[in-house]
Amino acid sequence: MFDLDNLADEAENACNSASTSEELAQVQSQFLGKKSKLVSAKKELGSLPAEERASTGKELNLLRSQIEQLIADRKAVLQETEWNSKFAEERQDLTEKLNTISRGHLHLITQARDELEDVFIGMGYTVAEGPEVETAWYNFEALNIPDWHPARGNFDTIFVDLGEPEEVMLRSHTSPVQVRTMEVQEPPIYIVAPGRTFRTDSADATHLPAFNQIEGLVIDKEITMGDLAGTIDSFVHAFFGQEVKSRLRPSYFPFTEPSAEFDISRADGSWLELGGCGMVHPNVLRNCKIDPEEWQGFAFGFGIDRLVSMRYQLDDIRELVVNDARFLRQF
């Protein structure tokens, strides 16, 4: 029979000497495994005299409990040490100053569109949207644009072959949104329609084949050119500042009568054309099932890209679409 006192001391020393969980697992196998001295001692109980078996068995069970406790205590200590070591390795200094993170921002055109929407919403308008692929009815016919008008030619409009029985094209303005709104909404109507438009223009310093427009439409009773001029003036002051003035010049558009172009003043005293406007043509109202004898309205529109180019005095409007980060970071 083994010396049980020495076995207990050996187990305690082995546990205390184990510096890792792996080493402690070896200690556990050594003193509690199938080939351990403790198991061997139990097997020898049968060779002891009957009067010694019970007491020796109790001592062996007590010794086993002691060794198990020694291992459990050491395991708790080692786990805490290992966790603390792991936490120390993975610890991050939250007070450490990191390099400046370069954040993105909205594109200049998106900024301008959002600002324009805010200005007109503040004036009582709502924002309306429509499809970018349109039929001839919405893009031309309902707007009183005749078949012979140059805008309906291939040199100005991008037509799309979808196998449809009628002409289909990429919209050349956002005026179709006005028609769609008048078809489904009873007057009074106060909307602005921002969005992308498309023409066959070649890209140069002042033109883009795909560009952004915003158009406004008002349909109400007793609407006059004076209301239109006041609306343009209020918008110009809100967007450009109180020092900027606006003026209307006679012009022609098939969907408005009378028609005008509106300019804004420059610091040097000159004027710069911004967009077109006018009173909604009675034929447009009739096409949308609105009685022109009861309801009147005005419409206006201008290019958002051009507006941005003017606001930031860009020499080349293509700067807005080439996605040069060095340019965009300035704004």
Which candidate, 33, 26, 17, 29, places its Cα nearest to that of 77? Answer: 17
Higher pLDDT, 216 or 47: 216
45 band by pLDDT with thresholds 50, 70 and 90: low
The per-residue pLDDT for range 63-99, each reduced to its tens digit, is 778 778 888 888 888 888 888 888 888 877 777 777 7
| Domain residue ranges of the chain, discontinuous segments joined by + | 4-90, 108-328
pTM over 0.75: no
> Which listed CATH number (3.60.20.40, 3.30.930.10, 3.40.50.970, 3.40.630.30) goes with 108-328?
3.30.930.10
Sheet containing 246-253, strands listed edge to edge, beginning at the edge strand earlier in sequence:
126-127, 189-198, 210-220, 296-303, 271-280, 256-265, 246-253
Dig out the tokens for 242 from the structure: 């109180």
The per-residue pLDDT for range 123-178, each reduced to its tens digit, is 999 999 999 999 999 999 999 998 888 878 777 899 998 887 888 999 999 999 99
**Contacts of 77 by beta carbon, 8 Å cutoff, 6+ apart:** none
Cis link prior to 188 (omega < 30° from 0)?
Answer: yes
